[in-house]
Amino acid sequence: MEVLGAGIVGLTVAEELARRGHAVTVVDPRPARGASYAAAGMLSPAAEVWYGEEDLLRLGLASLDLWPDLAARLGVALRSEGTLLVGHDAGDLQQVERQAALLARHGRDVVALDRAAVRQAEPALGRVAGGALLPGEASVDPRAVCAALLERVPVGEAASGADVTVVATGAHLPEPWTGLVSGVRGEVLRLRSDDPPQRTVRGWVAGEPVYLVPRGDGRVVLGATSERHDAPPVLTAGGTLRLLDAGRRLWPALDRAELVEGTARDRPATADGLPLVGPSGVADVVLAAGHGRHGVLLAPLTARLVADHLETGRVDPVLDPRRAMEGAR
């Protein structure tokens, strides 16, 4: 078997196939340098969904459950301090409250926090209007995850005559699937601070969404812009400015932080916001693509679904790529 694409999805699929005893090679000219290289690594099924995305919530929760085993197998840290939603001003707090109401309706644990409780939970934050804690959410360092996966699965040349091909090439699918996924540029900054937040913070600042994902050693990822476009993803001055401005209003210590790196990559977005996992319409070619904002979170579930599909023919109807092809005809 061959997997096209050595991002976190392709590599996790390959690792799962290898674990089940299949001979597998991953093919990618630049392994782990696509969207996974930019990703902050939020394992935040609740903090990253919105009204109408209940399927994503279900899938994200199922995949979050698989992460502790995957992280342990790979020997990478999984931080599970939860996610703090925060609103900078009263309008932003309404956004937090709407999201908390959606999650409560779906039976998720949401702990409402007033301004003082937010400061108590995260002393590094500045003055905010209030927030909510989502316990149980987590984060990983996607670069560490990909490095560990690359030690476990062979990356090589395209295998001529491979019995099965899994296409996991992120925002750039080959023909005839190219049009099923489009790029949504995300710009992120990497910082180093002596006063980082302790857990993932997902905030709104005057309507601008922003997140901070700490690694526990002073490193913090600040993200992310979100912009549909056709041009190659580049880090823009405007995107950087917006991130820094929103980030420092939530987290004043940002001013003193070392700005280590800026990265821009395309998230692979589908028309209906759900990934494409399963039959491609071409014999012996399976898609594992279109994960949008959720590639890191959904990687282990995708790996399981792809391996199950190849072994049993089973397909999750919500993710079946043929829905998108029918729509395109």
Give residues in contact with ligand GLY (CB under 6 A). 40, 42, 48, 186, 223-224, 267, 293
CB of 40 to ligand GLY, least distance (A): 6
- Residue 83 gets the label, from left (phi > 0), alpha (psi -120 to 50) or beta, of beta
Strand partners, 261: 190
Q: Residue 198 gets which letter from DSSP? A: S
Answer whether 250's CB lies under 8 Å from 88's CB.
Answer: yes
CB of 190 to ligand GLY, least distance (A): 13
Location of structure tokens 């340098």: 33
Closest CA to 234 of 265, 268, 190: 265
CB of 293 to ligand GLY, least distance (A): 3
Answer whether 42's CB lies under 8 Å from 48's CB.
Answer: yes
Considering the complex, state which of residue 153 and residue 299 has its C-beta at the smaller distance from ligand GLY: 299
Considering the complex, state which of residue 215 and residue 309 has its C-beta at the smaller distance from ligand GLY: 215
Considering the complex, state which of residue 93 and residue 222 has its C-beta at the smaller distance from ligand GLY: 222
For 97, the enclosing helix (H) or strand (E) is: helix 90-105
Considering the complex, state which of residue 186 and residue 233 has its C-beta at the smaller distance from ligand GLY: 186
Considering the complex, state which of residue 188 and residue 310 has its C-beta at the smaller distance from ligand GLY: 188
Q: What is the DSSP string of 202-224?
A: EEEETTEEEEEEE-SSSEEEEE-
CB of 258 to ligand GLY, least distance (A): 22
CB of 268 to ligand GLY, least distance (A): 11
